A = this chain, B = another copy of it.
Amino acid sequence: MSKIWTVYLSGEIHTDWRARIAEAAADLPLVFTAPNVDHASSDACGAEILGAEPDPFWHDHKAAKINAIRTLTLIREADVVVVRFGDKYRQWNAAFDAGMAAALGKPLITLHDPALRHPLKEVDAAALATAREPEDVARILKYVITGAL
């Protein structure tokens, strides 16, 4: 009857970092949650389900709000929130998720290349760990849950 930890994996969707964490942590009592990581459906969901919008602002708005139903709910019920930043794209949604996690008092782990240190200093300041590789996150989770290094 040991606790199952729920870990939300926010941010960058173009590399296999989620799979690498999951693989490295495969034998731990963990449930991973995440946003929809398929870029195409994530952009299209509003128009597909609720009707097309000629104005791209409202096209995006409808999609972003439907995605928020998922992200808000899963962030709120996560034990730990991991946010990954890559070196491409704006990734403001990742930083937004980190801000929400911080304000909700969720333990936050950031995952990024050291080269991103300076622009991420405010986000890292709110984190309980800043990791470089997905496997480091898995090691943190292993240690946190089991006490074993």
Binding site for B on A (CB under 8 A): 1-5, 31, 33, 36-38, 41, 44-45, 48-50, 53-58, 60-74, 77, 79-80, 85, 89-105, 107, 109, 114, 116-126, 128-132, 136, 139-140, 143-145, 147-149
Taking CB atoms, residues of chain B closer than 8 Å to A114 are 57
A68 and B100 contacting across the interface, CB-CB below 8 Å: no
A-B contact pairs, 26 of them (CB 8 A): A3-B31, A3-B33, A41-B143, A48-B149, A49-B149, A50-B131, A50-B140, A57-B124, A62-B129, A63-B121, A64-B124, A68-B126, A69-B109, A69-B140, A70-B144, A70-B145, A90-B90, A90-B119, A92-B120, A93-B119, A93-B123, A94-B95, A95-B99, A99-B100, A103-B103, A105-B105
